[in-house]
Structure 1
Amino acid sequence: MKKLYMSALLLSSTAILYAQEVIWQKDIKSSTQDFLSQVTTTVDQQYLITGSSIQATGKTAVSSVASKQKDASKGGSDIWLIRINEFGDELWQKTIGTPQDEEARSVIQTADFGFMVAGNVQNSANGFGSKDVTVTRLDKNGKVLSELILGGRGLDEVEKMIPTPDGGALLGVYSRSSAFVGSGRMEAGSSTINYQPKTTNNFGEGDYWVIKLTKDNKVEWEKNFGGKGDDHLRTMVFTSSGYIIGGESRSERSGNKTVGIEEGTDVWLISLNTKGDEQWQKSYNFKNRDILMGMNVINKSQDKREKNQDLTKGILLGGYTQAEGRIETDDETFWMIYIDNNGNEQWRKHVKGESRKKEERLSDLKMNKDGSIVLAGTSAEELGKENWKIVKLGDSQIDQLIEKQNIKIYPNPVSDYAYVEIGFDFIEADIILYDMGGRQLQSLKTKNKVTKINTQNLIQGAYLIVIKTDTEKTANAKLIKK
């Protein structure tokens, strides 16, 4: 199997290439055609790997992961979910689908520790267009709770979904679709599926379609952004001032696009407040076809936050530039940009990637709270046998951007369970819970960076968590019980 060199190169430069450390690597092999789309870090620092499994209609999926079998195929291509712990061990997997073709695109964890999975479905019998957006809600064990289908009269492809502070979600869709007007479909649909037609029209060939969902999985508002050309939304992040929507654009200034392009496609960012109103637009160019693959928000530490000041320190963008119309040995160049919360570029760097002839594709990148990076992609030994590859890296330059805290507690305030995250290195630590009168209530030993504690028996009020390690380091923080 070929190694996913492009993933490592995306987040390094020649100067710091040897500063990266592979912490662990997980290869998920398959005898069928499977494509990885996203890796999601859960609140307890585990991972949910999401992708699509292509099967012949009526056949049973036969791919083996850690000696387990997939669920039976639902028909065509299905959504495939695998949950692994922080050490790369599999916990469970789930196949979701219908007789039509589905593909997974984005996953978030909900406040109840379940998941919302966003994907696409082609030519759904009760849908809106040639491709619609699906949002499926699951509990923490993978049980399906509800489903939402959105679309217009054409092709709509969801690219990203992020959680919102009110418990809802923001969907980012690449839309080549007009608003859906009329009726005469979906009457025979399942009672568990909620159908929501697109109500906004495009400005050009393809637009950014942004949809805000409530915690009940209903549409709160939707907006279209684009020029007269093709604009392809790729990713989104939540910052202290709202949302940043990003992708690539072929449009000159037109429609509601206020920045032009230099060459090929440029990276195009839009900043929105929480109501969907535009705050600013920015464009970045690397020549040729510039593709944005991911954005990660870097926040200021609590002790450096000032009153009425933005909490966001900056945003790290990662992507690649691809030569158009030809395949060359060095036809892909990978890059990173670091910008402030107003979109002003702070620095950028380029690095040459492996040729596309390697048949390896970076799908997602995540920066963890400790400064490490999880990379996910697809590697093919031969056409039709694509395997998933997940690599966790440590990177000294990215690590310098992270303002670490010695102890973090989340959620806080807490109801039943809280997670205690220790920010410094240790082999074994004691976690001690005190009431505000100094009485010890709990004590446990841990070897993990993140430890789950039970707070169900605590009465409402304030408590103190104290950390003591074998390296003689200590830290403490207040915990609030609802």
Structure 2
Amino acid sequence: MHSHVPTQRFRYPENVYQSRADSRHFAGSFPTQFRRFLLISISLLLLCVASLVAQPAVEWDKIVGRGLYLATPTSDGGLIAGVSNESDYFIIKFNASGVKEWEKTYFGNKSDQLSAIIQTSDGGYLLGGNSNSNIGNDKSQDAYWDEGSDFWIVKVTANGTKQWDKTFGGTGNDVLTAMKQAPDGGFIIGGSSNSGISDVKSEGSKGEYNDYWVIKISSSGARQWDRTIGGTKSDDLYSIDLTNSGGYILGGTSYSNISGDKTVDSKGNSDYWIVQLSANGSKQWDRTIGGISYDNFLSVQRTTDGGFILGGFSQSPAGADKSENLIGVIDFWIVKVNSDGIKQWDRTLGGKEWELLRSVIQTSDGGFIIAGNSESFKSGSKTMSRKGKSDYWIVKIGSDGKKLWDQSFGAGAGSTSTMFGAFPAYDGGYWLCGNTDGYDAANDKADSGSGTWFVKLLAESNTRKLSFSPKSLEFTNTGNITTPPQIVNLTANTGTPMVSLKKSFSAWLNLPASSLGSLSFKVDPSGIFPGNFKAVVNATAPGYARALMTVNLRVNDVTTPPTLEPIGNKELLAGQTLSFTATATAALGQTKKFSLVNAPAGAAIDSVTGFFKWIVPQDAGVYPITIRVSSNTSPVLFDEETIAVKVNIPIDNTAIRINAGGSGYTTPDGRYFEADRYYGGIDRASFIKDVDILNTTDDEIYKSGRCSDNFNYAIPVRNGTMKVTLHFAEIFWGVYPNRDGKPGQRVFSVNAEGVNKLANYDIIARAGGPLRAVKESFEVQVIDGYLNLEFLSSRDKPRVSAIEVEFLSPLTEITLWPVADAYVRYGANAGTNYGKESLKVKASSSADLDRTSYIKFSLNDLVEIKTAKIRLFGSNSEGNVRVRIGVIGVDNDDWTEMGINGNNAPTGVTATLGSLEAVGNIKHFEVDITEFAKAQLEKDKILTLQLKDISTRNNIVWFRSREASRDAPKLILMANRAVSSAARMESEVAINEVSEPETQSSVIYPNPVRSRFTLQISNQHRENIALEIINEAGRAYPVKTADALHAGTKAEVNIAELALDKGMYLLKVQSSAKSEVLKLMVTE
């Protein structure tokens, strides 16, 4: 049994229910004279056999006002369309050119929702929908039930004058969705109902949900008979047409199994369900057609062979009656059946996203036009990429269901265009009708404004067209200077039609008189603020494909100076290099220039990129530097900032000693501890006199100490590896009266360079009592010229008596240049090598346009890496769109600069290391890749990076390659130089504590993994070990384990709950003593 839960799986866009229901009556609802007219047009089209597969061109498009959502063609070649206007029926009649002829509103005293329109044989119209209104205004009958809704139909004349109205309903909800004129001049109307028997409804509900409910009425609206048709679950009627035998074919969506009128079980969650009735309403047969998931019916139309074409949308894969697999999220699904409802063929159409079908019409050649909405880029059956978030999409298929062509029509980027139907036009072309929220003219939309959007297509065989040459014009205004008028030629490929020129909203563009030939266009930028403006000129002629021309106007800013982004003061050590990139925004039409004012010797800034570099002098002091950005065209327009560069002298001794909280002191063995300095936080010290400190001959340094709630030190040192020794003694607890000297009275932690070195440290417990000296030593690496120590309270105030810093080995900044770099292309360009060009990156909907770059570095001369970052120089070369470029580590170095192309580019395990955002301005970019560089150094000492657009913005981002004389890609490393064995042994002897032997990193096995693995934890870790898995996008997943983790042990790790996709991940192992990152490959 299948539950009735359609709204849980089909996430319809706004108004999709109305659009879905309302487009049932578009096909096959024309009066007899219009059918004859259409057949004449069809016979003419058959003469142009060679052009039948040509795609129709756009004749014109128009925004026609408020958001209509249903329509039907009229016998005069026009269209009548409608909407529920604030709970009323509202209709508009358009002529064949899309010009409004008249509009009318019909309403009761409550809510009235229009859902169907058909033209009647007398040239008038029948409107149908749902109402809960009582007698009043245009409604002549009370509602059957105040809390439900009824069918309400209104008959009007050819000019919209009301003739009569009728209400039909029961004691529940009755929702009209379809109408058709019967052969006897009456009407068959239908929809869905859950009402019981009433004076109008002759049969009760077949189940607890909706049934099909159809009513046959006379030409004056008198009820003749009704039928309730359904199973025990929900059955929703959406479409009605006539059969060759004079009966009726009903089509809808069913969730029912065998029950009531349903003779076949459901094939999936929901199916197409068609039912044939005789002329007097007797059921003749029913057919259930579906896949194994959700299939929602939309339309049934009788075909020229006496069979029927069924249309809707589907979420089903191949299976049951569905012969083709699902392409995207939701696809069009078309089914052709014979006159007995037996399936002949089916066709699935769609891209990788959502496609919602709106109408199906048969064409003169026996094929079909399928129309609806598409959210897909170029993919699957879709040969054109989307232009907005959602576009109109039409597909032509042959009589055998094979696709012949498809076309997409959309407004500007980010717009939503939703079609409610495609209809045959008087000339053999098509009307495309729907709504768009895109206001500006863009892509296929040449008219300004949002609302209902009509697109008129020519017949497929019509090759007449207009053309502009050139197709675009560029005008620029700078101050009092404006581009003079420009000449354009408008031509027709045949004949001399009467043309009409129209422009999108643009008061600054002056249109010439409409004509073929040479036309002069000029602009008037008076009173316009600086900016970029665009107008679309639309040339149309009856029976010709339109011509579009874009006119761009740029009004440059000549009064606003550039804006320099704040830089801020800098502080560094003598002899170090200060470098940064100044950034600024320039007003429209200006180019910016960077410069220095009163710059110190050796300081320089790139005038274009803003890259500043200065090797600071050996003298301490504060150096003011002014960075200026000015307009190249008007140097008097500038912005500047004066920064203060503070230069400190690094302590060049092999050791730095500080008497914390005290004054300078020399120990008996000659070591000098300078007076307390370099501290921060709460300034508080403590002292004691006339006591002896045990375990030391240096009593004086332990009698004073820095002691406050939280404090820190920032000690200037050379970059490198330091040995830090902290001196402690407890001089308060256990010394003064009523101050217990037991352990636990003073507990604190010490961090060095952000890494915990002493956790929950207890001086009394460690020294064996108060007034006893104790020392703790550890190594730490400094990369920014300052040793940072933090003392953090747990119980009472942290305390330190003295600090010793001994220099062990230096850190050296190393710059590596690539050994190879190149970009590759795909599609038709996949076999071409671009190894000697600048690096380029692009992602779009077309493989032919996409580009990806690769960079390779050799790490052969390195022993150890502390930090690593990639530095690139480039920009988005196609505009000011922000393009996010992923820097991706590739675990495959098997490529060469002159051999790589799109077909053989390295594949394998990849991991996103970071990203950068490229906009229009040229600049330097830096991304940290430390962990990946360390892993590659341990593996094969070759490092490959991939640069890839991870935002799909359809813009080219370029970077200078290694062939450039400057600003080539660089790998900037901080590396630890090796220390001699004698020096290392000497430093180890000085450490009081016995260190554990150095071990290897933690190990994962097996690797790759599925749902669980074993982790051998390195004994370099200490307390508080935690695990975290990080995916390529940087998302972190905390990992829980059954037991607490301990250094040197094995842990069983279960990741099944995380439901990770297969691919490369990083496992971060973090403890109080160490942080490491391991590669983790997850397989299915």
Q: Which is bigger in relative contact order (C-alpha 8 A, separation at least 6)?
A: 1
Which 5+ residue runs of structure 1 have no aligned equivalent? 182-196, 300-311, 324-330, 348-399, 402-482
- Counterpart contact for 2:94–2:100, Cα < 8 Å: no
Q: Does 1:8 align with 2:91?
A: yes
Measured against aligned partners, the alpha-carbon deviations of 1:178-197 in whole angstroms (never above 9, x if no partner) come to 1226xxxxxxxxxxxxxxx2
Q: Distance in 1 between matches of 2:461 and 2:437?
A: 23
CA shift in 2, pair 1:49/1:335, >3 Å: farther
Which residue identity does 1:104 align to in structure 2?
A: L
Aligned match of 1:276 in 401, 421, 440? 401
Question: How far apart are residue 35 of structure 1 and its match?
Answer: 1.7
Aligned match of 1:46 in 186, 198, 207? 186
Q: Distance in 1 between matches of 2:213 and 2:437?
A: 29
1:216 corresponding residue in structure 2: 340
Q: Distance in 2 between matches of 1:136 and 1:259?
A: 37
Which residue identity does 2:457 align to in structure 1?
A: I
Aligned match of 1:317 in 432, 448, 455? 432
Greater percentage in strand? 1
Question: How far apart are residue 5 of structure 1 and its match?
Answer: 5.2
Aligned match of 1:206 in 321, 325, 330? 330
Aligned match of 2:177 in 14, 37, 40? 37
1:71 corresponding residue in structure 2: 203
Q: Distance in 2 between matches of 1:179 and 1:246?
A: 22
Q: What SS is found at the alignment partner of 2:361?
A: strand
1:391 corresponding residue in structure 2: none
Question: How far apart are residue 4 of structure 1 and its match?
Answer: 6.4
- Counterpart contact for 2:92–2:101, Cα < 8 Å: no
CA shift in 2, pair 1:114/1:61, >3 Å: same
Q: Distance in 2 between matches of 1:49 and 1:215?
A: 22
Measured against aligned partners, the alpha-carbon deviations of 1:406-462 in whole angstroms (never above 9, x if no partner) come to xxxxxxxxxxxxxxxxxxxxxxxxxxxxxxxxxxxxxxxxxxxxxxxxxxxxxxxxx
Measured against aligned partners, the alpha-carbon deviations of 1:154-211 in whole angstroms (never above 9, x if no partner) come to 1001111111111100011200111226xxxxxxxxxxxxxxx222211111111111
Q: Distance in 2 between matches of 1:223 and 1:267?
A: 19
Query: Over aligned residues, Cα RMSD in angstroms?
Result: 3.3
Q: Distance in 1 between matches of 2:317 and 2:417?
A: 26
2:454 corresponding residue in structure 1: 336
Q: Does 1:144 align with 2:283?
A: yes
1:95 corresponding residue in structure 2: 228
1:180 corresponding residue in structure 2: 319
Identity %: 25
Q: Distance in 2 between matches of 1:120 and 1:176?
A: 14
Question: How far apart are residue 14 of structure 1 and its match?
Answer: 7.7
List, as ranges, runs of 4+ consecutive aligned residues in structure 1 with deviation greater than 6 Å. 1-4, 343-347
Question: How far apart are residue 280 of structure 1 and its match?
Answer: 1.8
Measured against aligned partners, the alpha-carbon deviations of 1:357-397 in whole angstroms (never above 9, x if no partner) come to xxxxxxxxxxxxxxxxxxxxxxxxxxxxxxxxxxxxxxxxx
Measured against aligned partners, the alpha-carbon deviations of 1:290-311 in whole angstroms (never above 9, x if no partner) come to 3332333245xxxxxxxxxxxx
CA shift in 2, pair 1:29/1:289, >3 Å: farther
Question: How far apart are residue 338 of structure 1 and its match?
Answer: 2.8
Q: Distance in 2 between matches of 1:286 and 1:71?
A: 48
Q: Distance in 1 between matches of 2:216 and 2:421?
A: 21
Which residue identity does 2:454 align to in structure 1?
A: M
Q: Distance in 1 between matches of 2:385 and 2:219?
A: 43
Question: How far apart are residue 339 of structure 1 and its match?
Answer: 2.1
CA shift in 2, pair 1:2/1:281, >3 Å: closer
- Counterpart contact for 1:252–1:260, Cα < 8 Å: yes
Q: Distance in 2 between matches of 1:317 and 1:4?
A: 26
Q: What SS is found at the alignment partner of 2:339?
A: coil
Which residue identity does 2:334 align to in structure 1?
A: V
Q: What SS is found at the alignment partner of 1:233?
A: strand
Q: Distance in 2 between matches of 1:222 and 1:297?
A: 23
TM-score (normalizing by structure 2): 0.27
Which residue identity does 1:297 align to in structure 2?
A: P
- Counterpart contact for 1:52–1:104, Cα < 8 Å: yes
Map 1:242-281 to 2 at 5 A: 242-281=367-406
Q: What SS is found at the alignment partner of 2:315?
A: strand
Q: Distance in 2 between matches of 1:322 and 1:73?
A: 41
Measured against aligned partners, the alpha-carbon deviations of 1:297-343 in whole angstroms (never above 9, x if no partner) come to 245xxxxxxxxxxxx622233333469xxxxxxx9933433322329
Q: Distance in 2 between matches of 1:217 and 1:318?
A: 30
Q: Distance in 1 between matches of 2:225 and 2:461?
A: 40
Q: Does 1:129 align with 2:261?
A: no
Map 1:48-447 to 2 at 5 A: 48-55=188-195, 60-62=196-198, 68-75=200-207, 76-122=209-255, 124=257, 126-180=265-319, 197-241=321-365, 242-286=367-411, 288-298=415-425, 313-321=428-436, 333-342=451-460
Question: How far apart are residue 142 of structure 1 and its match?
Answer: 0.9
- Counterpart contact for 1:238–1:297, Cα < 8 Å: no
Q: What SS is found at the alignment partner of 2:101?
A: helix
- Counterpart contact for 1:282–1:343, Cα < 8 Å: no
CA shift in 2, pair 1:298/1:4, >3 Å: farther
CA shift in 2, pair 1:15/1:81, >3 Å: closer
Question: How far apart are residue 109 of structure 1 and its match?
Answer: 0.4
Question: How far apart are residue 80 of structure 1 and its match?
Answer: 0.9
CA shift in 2, pair 1:69/1:209, >3 Å: closer
Which residue identity does 2:91 align to in structure 1?
A: A
- Counterpart contact for 1:11–1:336, Cα < 8 Å: no
- Counterpart contact for 2:231–2:257, Cα < 8 Å: no
Question: How far apart are residue 148 of structure 1 and its match?
Answer: 0.6
Q: Distance in 2 between matches of 1:254 and 1:284?
A: 16
TM-score (normalizing by structure 1): 0.58
Which residue identity does 2:191 align to in structure 1?
A: G
Q: Distance in 2 between matches of 1:25 and 1:273?
A: 42
Q: Distance in 2 between matches of 1:24 and 1:205?
A: 46
- Counterpart contact for 1:10–1:318, Cα < 8 Å: no
Q: Distance in 2 between matches of 1:160 and 1:25?
A: 28
Which residue identity does 1:52 align to in structure 2?
A: S
- Counterpart contact for 2:168–2:200, Cα < 8 Å: no
Q: Distance in 2 between matches of 1:129 and 1:120?
A: 11
CA radius of gyration, larger in: 2
Measured against aligned partners, the alpha-carbon deviations of 1:4-49 in whole angstroms (never above 9, x if no partner) come to 6564148587852359423535342535222221222334443221
CA shift in 2, pair 1:88/1:336, >3 Å: farther
- Counterpart contact for 1:10–1:334, Cα < 8 Å: no
Which residue identity does 1:295 align to in structure 2?
A: A
CA shift in 2, pair 1:29/1:47, >3 Å: closer
Question: How far apart are residue 249 of structure 1 and its match?
Answer: 0.6
Q: What SS is found at the alignment partner of 2:429?
A: strand
Question: How far apart are residue 273 of structure 1 and its match?
Answer: 1.6
CA shift in 2, pair 1:233/1:109, >3 Å: same
Q: Distance in 1 between matches of 2:201 and 2:89?
A: 30
Q: What SS is found at the alignment partner of 2:102?
A: helix
Alignment length, in residue pairs? Answer: 308
